[in-house]
């Protein structure tokens, strides 16, 4: 018995739902790569990336996922054997650090947790103690998609400047670009990394870098550059160089449409929509949490991402039957927990192409599963989400 025939709700934190207009834009024949109207499309993407990263720096498009974006950022700016400081706040900064390690860099992890944002004071203290200037770059994520922590990029950028240290500040915005404010230049970020398939609502397959002036200067003498990732080659005049080969045409068609949708909505409105959906999700989970079986992973509301919410279950309960119920009975796909939290909870994504009814659908399926599986939960979680939005989304 099930009630699953109907639209699938993909509520995982990436890849996210691709809007129909984006799918339609991708559904067209391949075009001549030397066609005159192609370079302006690339320029359009590069400019949109500057706009959403809030930077005047160079932007780059790679045919890769986020992991490729990580490798691009490091290989363009670092010298073999140099040290990077990794600011732990869950899984992903450490994953980036592991790449640095494999690439021949030395890594130091500034220990953090899956429950708290990076502490700017700890970053400042560590950099002040590095009197020989061994640390050449600091790696952080804006949103850790495993823990659902939101780091304060502005505050960490200030801490780095106050320390007087000249390490590059590199930030992974893969799960945050398009969902919340990111001001690369104003916040002192030297390199930003992102990807197409989360807040940007496009197919997986594109990674992005943005490089500020200090990163560009380091790039001149960096000795880990390789042909494909090399920023300099990609800033050449010939369109072919922008992709170091054949452009990923259909991904470009799709992403251009995504930016069109985002620009139509407007940056502030998109960020506000994400804040509202996140607030509704927290209100719902806090209601469920009253019965003691589950809880929000991030305690401080100001440290919670508006893109994704990690919900933990106490050890006597397994998330597996609940997620299976949502999937098999309702066709709602809820994210598993990963990294250190694997097997202990679930993740509700509310990023990208997501509105109130989609969120209600996902929360409703979860509440139905909690009920059907007799997992103790405070009643009325979805009602609390509705109440939250009704209180905050005023009739005009």
Residue 175 or 365: the one with the smaller Cβ distance to ligand PLP is 175
Which one of 41-49, 121-129, 167-175, 241-249 is the stretch in contact with ligand PLP (CB under 6 A)? Answer: 167-175
**17 lines the binding site for ligand PLP (CB under 6 A):** no
Task: Answer for the pair 176, 117: CB distance below 8 angstroms, yes or no.
Answer: no
Cβ 261 to ligand PLP, closest distance in Å? 20
How far apart CA 103 and CA 81 sit, in angstroms, is: 9
CB 75 within 8 A of CB 103: yes
Choose among 363, 352, 337: nearest CA to 262.
Answer: 352
Specify the stretch interacting with ligand PLP by CB under 6 A; choose among 59-67, 77-85, 219-227, 352-360.
59-67
Using DSSP, state whether 290 is helix, strand or coil. Answer: coil
Nearer to ligand PLP, 141 or 296 (CB): 141
Contact with ligand PLP (CB under 6 A): which of 66, 188, 279, 335? Answer: 66
Q: Is 175 in the site for ligand PLP (CB under 6 A)?
A: yes
278 to 297: interface string for ligand PLP, x by CB under 6 A = --------------------
Q: How far is the CB of 96 from ligand PLP (least distance, A)?
A: 7
> CB-side exposure of 208: number of CA atoms within 13 Å?
29
For residues 349 and 13, give the distance between their C-alpha atoms in angstroms, rounded to a whole number. Answer: 5
Residue 141 or 200 having the CB closest to ligand PLP: 141
Q: What is the DSSP string of 131-174?
A: TT--EEEEEEESEETTTTEE--HHHHHHHHHHHT---EEEEE-T
Strand intervals (E) in the chain = 9-11, 58-63, 83-87, 106-110, 135-141, 143-144, 149-150, 168-172, 191-195, 206-211, 294-296, 308-313, 332-336, 345-349
C-alpha to C-alpha distance for 381 and 360, rounded to whole angstroms: 10
* Nearest residue to ligand PLP, scored by beta-carbon proximity: 66
Task: Indicate the residue among 174 and 365 with the shorter CB distance to ligand PLP.
Answer: 174
Distance CA 85, CA 111 (A): 10
Helix residue spans in 2-91 (DSSP H):
20-26, 38-53, 66-77
Closer to ligand PLP at the Cβ: 75 or 163?
75
Q: Which of residues 215-254 bind ligand PLP (CB under 6 A)?
A: none
Q: Does residue 338 touch ligand PLP according to CB under 6 A?
A: no
Residue 179 interacting with ligand PLP (CB under 6 A) = no
Strands 206-211, 308-313: pairing kind = unpaired
CB nearer to ligand PLP: pick between 12 and 276? 12
172 near ligand PLP, judged by CB under 6 A: yes
Site map 116..155 versus ligand PLP, x via CB under 6 A? -------------------------x--xx----------
Rule CB under 6 A: say whether 67 interacts with ligand PLP: yes
In the region spanning residues 73 to 102, those forming contacts with ligand PLP, defined by CB under 6 A, are 92
Which DSSP symbol is given to 104?
T
Q: Which residues, 6+ apart, have CB-to-CB distance to 197 below 8 Å?
A: 14, 15, 16, 65, 203, 204, 205
Distance of CA 68 to the CA centre of its chain: 14
Q: Does 331 bind ligand PLP (CB under 6 A)?
A: no
CB 10 within 8 A of CB 308: no
Contacting residue, 118, 138, 168, 195, with ligand PLP by CB under 6 A: 195
C-beta of 172 vs 367, nearer to ligand PLP: 172
What's the closest the beta carbon of residue 175 comes to ligand PLP, in angstroms? 3
Please report, for residues 24, 176, 255, the alpha-carbon distance to residue 18 in angstroms, rounded to integers and kept in the order given.
Answer: 10, 16, 10
Is the preceding omega at residue 38 within 30 degrees of 0, hence cis? no
The least distance separating ligand PLP from the CB of residue 146, rounded to whole angstroms, comes to 8
Which range of residues in 54-62, 63-71, 213-221, 330-338 is near ligand PLP by CB under 6 A? 63-71
Q: Which stretch binds ligand PLP (CB under 6 A): 64-72, 226-234, 273-281, 340-348?
A: 64-72
- Of the two residues 4 and 67, which places its CB atom closer to ligand PLP in the complex? 67
Residue ranges binding ligand PLP (CB under 6 A): 14, 65-67, 92, 141, 144-145, 172, 174-175, 195
């Amino acid at each position: 018995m099930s009630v699953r025939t109907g639209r699938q709700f993909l509520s995982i934190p990436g890849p996210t739902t691709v809007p129909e207009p984006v799918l339609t834009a991708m559904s067209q024949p391949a075009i001549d790569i030397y066609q005159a109207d192609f370079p302006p499309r690339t320029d359009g993407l590069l400019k949109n990336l500057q706009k959403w990263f809030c930077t005047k720096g160079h932007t780059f498009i790679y045919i890769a996922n986020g992991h490729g974006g990580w490798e691009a950022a490091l290989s363009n700016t670092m010298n073999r054997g140099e040290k990077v400081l990794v600011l732990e706040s869950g899984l992903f900064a450490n994953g980036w650090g592991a790449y640095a390690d494999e690439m021949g860099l030395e890594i130091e992890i500034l220990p953090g947790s899956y429950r708290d944002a990076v502490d700017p004071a700890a970053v400042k203290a560590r950099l002040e103690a590095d009197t020989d200037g061994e640390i050449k770059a600091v790696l952080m994520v804006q949103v850790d998609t495993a823990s659902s922590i939101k780091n304060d990029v502005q505050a960490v950028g200030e801490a780095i400047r106050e320390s007087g240290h000249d390490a590059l500040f590199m930030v992974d915005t893969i799960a945050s670009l398009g969902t919340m404010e990111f001001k690369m230049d104003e916040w002192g970020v030297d390199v930003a990394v992102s990807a197409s398939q989360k807040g940007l609502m496009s197919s997986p397959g594109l990674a992005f870098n943005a490089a500020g002036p200090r990163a560009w200067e380091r790039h001149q003498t960096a000795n880990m550059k390789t042909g494909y990732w090399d920023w300099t080659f990609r800033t050449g005049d010939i369109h072919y160089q922008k992709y170091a080969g054949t452009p990923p045409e259909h991904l470009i068609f799709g992403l251009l449409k995504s930016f069109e949708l985002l620009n139509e909505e407007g940056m502030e409105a998109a960020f506000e929509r994400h804040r509202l959906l996140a607030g509704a999700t927290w209100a719902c989970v806090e209601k469920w949490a009253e019965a003691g079986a589950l809880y929000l992973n991030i305690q401080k509301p100001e440290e919670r991402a508006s893109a994704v919410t990690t919900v933990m279950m106490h050890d006597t309960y397994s998330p597996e039957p609940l997620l299976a119920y949502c999937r098999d009975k309702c066709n709602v796909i809820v994210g598993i927990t990963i990294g250190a939290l694997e097997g202990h909870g679930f993740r509700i994504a509310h990023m990208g192409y997501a509105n109130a009814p989609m969120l209600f659908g996902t929360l409703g399926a979860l509440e139905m599963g909690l009920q059907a599986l007799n997992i103790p939960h405070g009643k009325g979680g979805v009602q609390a989400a509705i109440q939250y939005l009704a209180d905050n989304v005023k009739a005009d």
